[in-house]
Amino acid sequence: MKIVSQNTAFGGMQGVFAHDSKACNAEMTFAVYVPPQAVTAARPVLWYLSGLTCTHANVMEKGEYRRMASELGLIIVCPDTSPRGGDVPDEVTNWQMGKGAGFYLDATEKPWAEHYQMYTYITEELPALIGEQFRIDPSRQGIFGHSMGGHGAMTMALKNPDRFKSCSAFAPIVAPSSADWSVGAFEKYLGADKTAWREYDACALVEDGARFPEFLIDQGKADSFLENGLRPWLFEDVVKGTGIGLTLRMHERYDHSYYFISTFMDDHLKWHAERLG
């Protein structure tokens, strides 16, 4: 692991780091905010997954999480959204595929499978590295994200309920198997057999028996992607009668941007802190 940058903020340290990933077969960059409390004690860790076209930098620069993370004593880890580099396949004119659009799954189709192993990277390789390098409490982990990252957070929580104790999302893609802006990527990454897609679809996972205690979802009513891409009401319908708790908050006038995310970031951090102890 190499240090890209380090900056003091609210008594803690905001760092950006890079390492050679075996899972993604590429150098990966990620950000970690370490609160001042981590100097003397292991702290809960909260994973934030970004959306389409983003990197670790979007939430780091616009998410406004450091003040509250410092107050609550939360370590915030912000991975990249896909592998990068000259050897990594891409579709330069398609923002919904390739670099910046890893969809937090393990690709099985060529040429994507050699590098696009984001599910394994986020759930196995990067946590092992974070555990070695930072003073985290592995028994207290939460996960959240935005849009494509909300999709990733929800599917990872549903598939790993013993690891993650809390999960929330800003404007998540709750059913990517049928959403306009994810169907094309799923077919290219996973093949034409849609049964394989269900492993990375929050609604399908619940239908197939996956369970998680509760979710918090914030969604802007002025989001231009709401009707065709996000559709949180589908998740609201599928969790009925399952025992899964859901707080779905629909906000007038808010869109899909980081103005929306930064407005409700403190709410999410406090919500996670209550559940992580």
Please tell me the distance from the alpha carbon of residue 94 to that of residue 103, in angstroms, as a whole number: 14
The residue among 156, 202, 206, 207 whose CA lies nearest residue 179 is 202
Please tell me the distance from the alpha carbon of residue 216 to that of residue 88, in angstroms, as a whole number: 34
If DSSP codes are grouped into helix, strand and coil, which group holds residue 224? coil
Beta bridge pairs of residue 26:
21
Q: Which of 90, 106, 218, 223 is catalytic?
A: 223
Please tell me the distance from the alpha carbon of residue 277 to that of residue 273, in angstroms, as a whole number: 6
Active site residue 257: no
Q: Which of 56, 256, 268, 272 is catalytic?
A: 256
Active site residue 223: yes
The radius of gyration computed from the CA coordinates of the chain, to the nearest angstrom, equals 17
DSSP β-ladder status, 75-79 and 136-146: unpaired
Q: Which amino acid is located at 193 in the chain? A: D
- Can you state the percent helix, strand and coil of the chain, rounding each to 5? 35, 25, 35
Q: Which of 21, 70, 82, 147 is catalytic?
A: 147
Which phi and psi (to 5°) does residue 161 adopt? -70, -20
Active site residue 256: yes
Task: Supply the residues annotated as catalytic.
Answer: 147, 223, 256
